[in-house]
Structure 1
Amino acid sequence: MNNLIAKLGQNPARSLSIFLRGLGLFSVGLLFIAIGYYYHHLWQVVGLIIIALGCIITAWGYLGIFANRWFNILNKRKNKEFY
């Protein structure tokens, strides 16, 4: 389990970049939903698809950030046990 957490959290800067890209896609999806409210309803369907993709990408990036922090917490606790 510890190896999986280390692998997921090995590059927090990249995870933050993925998280922000997903957040940007989510925002674009919201924009399409707003456009669909005023124009044709199919824009809202496109917006929902983009929001779903944005949520998946954002969750993947957040998982990397969380894994990095959790791995650091576990390592600090292991180092304190030896002292």
Structure 2
Amino acid sequence: MNWLHRLANQPDKRWAEFKLGLGIFVLGVTLVLVGARWWMWLQIPGVLCLFVGSVIAAKGYLGILIYRLTSNFKNLKPPAEFDKDK
């Protein structure tokens, strides 16, 4: 559970991590497409970039998601009518 709190405590860092992972992923897609057109050996680093970018972006997205879920549930209070007997 502690790693979830560490993951969710820094949403700005996780957003930057998500953007970095997305950029690496796009670089991988570009390398794969260029390798398919001109030089096939560019596809190997492209696939590696796809994998690394996906992992980094997923970690960042998970941190953002956990932050959003936990911050929305902290301040919830039941309605005033909830405690009254009917």
Q: Under a length normalisation based on structure 1, what TM-score does the superposition of the two structures give?
A: 0.84
Distance across 2 between alignment mates of 1:9 and 1:29 = 27
Does residue 64 of structure 2 align to residue 53 of structure 1? no
Q: CA deviation at 1:4?
A: 4.4
Higher relative contact order (CA 8 A, sep 6+): 1
Say whether 1:33 aligns with 2:16.
Answer: no
1:24 and 1:4 map into 2 onto residues whose CA distance is 25
Aligned Cα root-mean-square deviation (Å): 1.9
The 2-side partners of 1:58 and 1:43 are apart by 22
How many aligned positions are there?
Answer: 80
Larger radius of gyration, structure 1 or 2?
2
TM-score (norm 2): 0.81
8 Å CA contact retained: 1:5, 1:68: no
* CA deviations over 1:58-83 (Å, ceiling 9, x no partner): 00000110111111122123xx14x7
> In proportion to residue count, which structure has more helix?
1
Q: Hey, which bits of structure 1, 4+ residues long, moved more than 6 A? A: none
Task: Report the identity percentage.
Answer: 29
What is the one-letter code of the residue matched to 2:73?
L
Provide structure 2 residue ranges, at least 5 long, that are not aligned to the other structure.
Answer: 81-86
Structure 1 residue runs without a partner (length 5+): none
